[in-house]
Amino acid sequence: MSEDADRFDAVVVGAGPAGSAAAYTMAQAGLSVVLVERGSAPGTKCVSGGVLYSAVLAELVPEFWENAPIERPITRHVTTFITDDASCAIDYRSSTLGRPPYNAFSVLRGKFDPWFAGLAEKAGAFLMPGVQVDGPVIEDGRVVGVRAQGDELRASVVVAADGASSYLAQAAGLRPPNRPEQVALGVKGVLRMPRETIEDRFGLVGQEGAAHGFVGQVTGGLVGGAFLYTNVDSLSVGMVVRVDELARSKRKPSQIFADLLAHPLLTPLVRDGELVEYSAHLVPEGGRSMAYKLSGAGIVVVGDAAGFAINNGLVVRGMDLAIGSGICAARTIIDAVSKGDVSARSLATYKDRLKAGFVLQDLDTYDRAPRFLDRHRLYEGYPRLLTGLCDGIFHLDGSPREHLITTAHRAVKASGLHLADLADDAIAAVRAL
């Protein structure tokens, strides 16, 4: 397809949330759009399961929860600091969290992505699954399409929604390869479990869902964390460990995942679950530093390909940023195509839209978070400190009680931390979070 008569207004590469949001928005506006997905179907190449913060999707698809394959509305968020044999948790739950549209839902990407891509297809986009894109077609310094399986798909604009490594953006000169400290390996399993067991085990009523985050020995003290999300009749369980940390440790991801499931404090949560899915992929962890050049002549970059992900230690976000960036990219392209100007200068307004909305503003808010989370004592010292403090408070052995200040001082000393560490980390946390 190399003749002008076969040119699309846009080729979107990648049918994840970012790509489907862009394709859906453009197709609704009447643009000719092809949505290319390398998997045999949308969702087959991603790590299944996660939490969708849904306000942006509710604006794009009102009352989407009536038809979308969501799992459970998240009404409970738990962050647990964990050692080999003890834990201390922040447990927040509220019935207001379960009221749409401003909500969080657990989703399985193997179900959600086909639904979202299907909306784009119904709106008029041409979905092409099972197609591997080899690279961009560049003429006179402008991206004019993509090469795919010996053919060319030509378009006025290419949307790079091809994941954290984004070889399209690299080939177009918009970004360098990822540095190991900027990406993490996400490893996830889906454990089938009866619905009644999930609700009893996690203290849930009806459709309620829970999102758990774990910090500490669940990743062997490496920079990263673990998670568990409740679905209707399964659990999404996994970990995210930074690539440079993983390389230095020389540990296999499969072994860390196995150790996670075998941890004595997680075993009661996952026991008797049947592992029905296991997968891994790279996720962006660099925050704002990964938002390189977001557009060029004939190309824009969205979602994970642009590094749009936030991990502030308490909340992990990616899908809402992906959808928001896809919408901003689509609106930019709609304007550019209507004016007949897809130059780098015209498409640069994409960044202005991101700044005006929540995507870049939230990334700027948490710009310091990646550097703060780089501190190893967060994963070793602080779990020991918090569990040691709780042990001093709740372990009554018949000896006279100490004042809380004395107990806290003893816990700090036993954790290996210093008061200067606490002060430094407190200041850094306030600035980063």
Q: How confident is the model at residue 6 (pLDDT cuts 50, 70, 90)?
A: low
Q: What is the pLDDT of residue 3?
A: 42
Averaged pLDDT, 148-159? 94
pLDDT in tens, 376-422: 999 999 999 999 999 999 988 888 988 999 999 999 999 999 999 99
Output the average pLDDT for the chain. Answer: 93
Q: How confident is the model at residue 222 (pLDDT cuts 50, 70, 90)?
A: confident
pLDDT in tens, 413-430: 999 999 999 999 999 999
Averaged pLDDT, 305-331? 94
CB 131 within 8 A of CB 41: no
**C-alpha distances out from residue 237 to 8, 168, 234, 267, Å:** 40, 31, 10, 12
pLDDT in tens, 100-131: 776 899 999 999 999 999 999 999 999 999 99
d(CA 166, CA 185): 15
CB 113 within 8 A of CB 16: yes
CB 283 within 8 A of CB 184: yes
pLDDT in tens, 166-217: 999 999 999 999 999 999 999 999 999 999 999 999 999 999 999 999 999 8
SS (H, E, C) 383-417: HHHHHHHHHHHHCCCCCCCCCHHHHHHHHHHHHCC
Report which of residues 277 and 120 the model is more confident about: 120
pLDDT of residue 274 exceeding 50: yes
Q: What domains are defined for the chain? A: 4-72+106-179+287-367 (3.50.50.60), 181-284 (3.30.9.90), 380-432 (no CATH)
d(CA 417, CA 129): 52
pLDDT of residue 5 exceeding 80: no
**C-alpha distances out from residue 342 to 168, 348, 403, Å:** 17, 10, 69
The DSSP secondary-structure symbol of 164 reads: T
d(CA 30, CA 324): 20
CB 347 within 8 A of CB 336: yes
Q: Give me the DSSP letters along 317-381.
A: E-HHHHHHHHHHHHHHHHHHHHHT--SHHHHTHHHHHHHHSHHHHHHHHTTTHHHHTT-GGGTTH
Q: How confident is the model at residue 98 (pLDDT cuts 50, 70, 90)?
A: confident
pLDDT in tens, 253-271: 889 999 999 999 999 999 9
Q: What is the pLDDT of residue 295?
A: 97
Q: What is the pLDDT of residue 1?
A: 37
